[in-house]
Amino acid sequence: MYAIVEKRQLAGGIFLMDVEAPRLARSSQPGQFLIVRNHDKGERIPLTICDYDATHGTVTIVIQVVGASSRQICDKNAGDYLLDVAGPLGHPAAFVRFPEEVLRKQRYLFIAGGVGTAPVYPQVKWLQEHGVKADVIIGAKNADMLILQKEMRAVAHEVFITTDDGSCGIKGLVTDKMKALLEEKHTYTQLVAIGPMVMMKFVALAAKPFGVPLTVSMNTLMVDGTGMCGSCRVTVGGKTKFTCVDGPEFDGYAIDFDEAMRRQGMYKPQEATADCTHKGTKNI
């Protein structure tokens, strides 16, 4: 059993939880993920690591209500327990393995969309701790859906906010600000995009003419997190990869995003049915 030591709401339907897991806190690296299970018959939910604190023995997850299982976890509070928190799984971000002389020559621009801001945060924090400057674009539909602004500003070199409706920061899409920065500054050596699949697709299309390498995280495709179910198959450069064992990060220009988005939508009817059943049971 894993105790939830802190819970706070970041936005509508989005919650942050610090979970007591000393072993995971000692071994986690940016870019990796955990498998969380609420009870012995519960669904395995892959969640990217938002933060980890080896001193206090905690890992931080951010979870959004999208179906019955995520709703059950989000209904828990500090002092409650999760049955399983397994990991860390997946490959860490590539820069973790860079020699110091290579790492210090890098200049990163992260593009974070919605809940994708959560897995961006530990990467930017790690780079800052190792003396590497990183700029971050955070995008959301409106000001109410923005998360982790304060935390990101504490570790990033510069943070740019975009909202679809202009209620905070720049009115427009993350791709608009990204293109403006790439046109103004030619010092970025690496782009990293994490967020909704359609956002990453258009980031890849917009960034390709600039010739800056792009990494994307395909974590939203994962189901069981072990490669056994096959649901996270993704075509990368014409070859089939499994997000949970080969990723979750890949070359953004090599991804077949249209295929990935079709795969992502396969279980939406079942998710909707299960969530309605759960909410109906809760209200009895």
Residue 171 and residue 116 share a domain = yes
Inside any domain, residue 151: yes
Q: How many CA atoms lie within 13 A of 84 on its CB side?
A: 16
Cα separation, 58 vs 53, whole angstroms: 5
Residue 249, pLDDT score? 94
Does residue 128 form part of some domain? Answer: yes
Range of the domain at 106: 94-216
Same domain, 202 and 243: no
Pair 186, 255 in one domain: no
Q: Is 50 exposed, middle or buried (0-12, 13-18, 19+ CB in 10 A)?
A: buried
> Do residues 134 and 126 lie in contact, with contact meaning Cβ atoms separated by under 8 Å?
no
Last residue in a domain, options 89, 115, 134: 89
Which residues, 6+ apart, have CB-to-CB distance to 265 below 8 Å? none
Residues 180 and 257 in one domain: no
Q: Is residue 284 part of a domain?
A: no
Q: What is the pLDDT of residue 264?
A: 73
Query: Is residue 203 in some structural domain?
Result: yes
For the domain that residue 38 is a member of, what is the CATH number? Answer: 2.40.30.10
CATH code of residue 145: 3.40.50.80
Two tokens, residue 257 = 């995003």
pLDDT tens digits for the chain (284 residues)?
A: 899 999 999 998 999 999 999 999 999 999 999 999 888 887 888 898 999 999 999 999 999 988 888 899 999 999 999 999 988 999 999 999 999 999 999 999 999 999 999 999 999 999 999 999 999 999 999 999 999 999 999 999 999 999 999 999 999 999 999 999 999 876 899 999 999 999 999 999 999 999 999 999 998 887 766 667 777 888 999 999 988 888 899 999 999 999 988 877 665 555 555 445 445 433 32
Q: Are residues 120 and 174 in the same domain?
A: yes
pLDDT at 70: 87
- 282 is a domain residue: no
Same domain, 190 and 106: yes
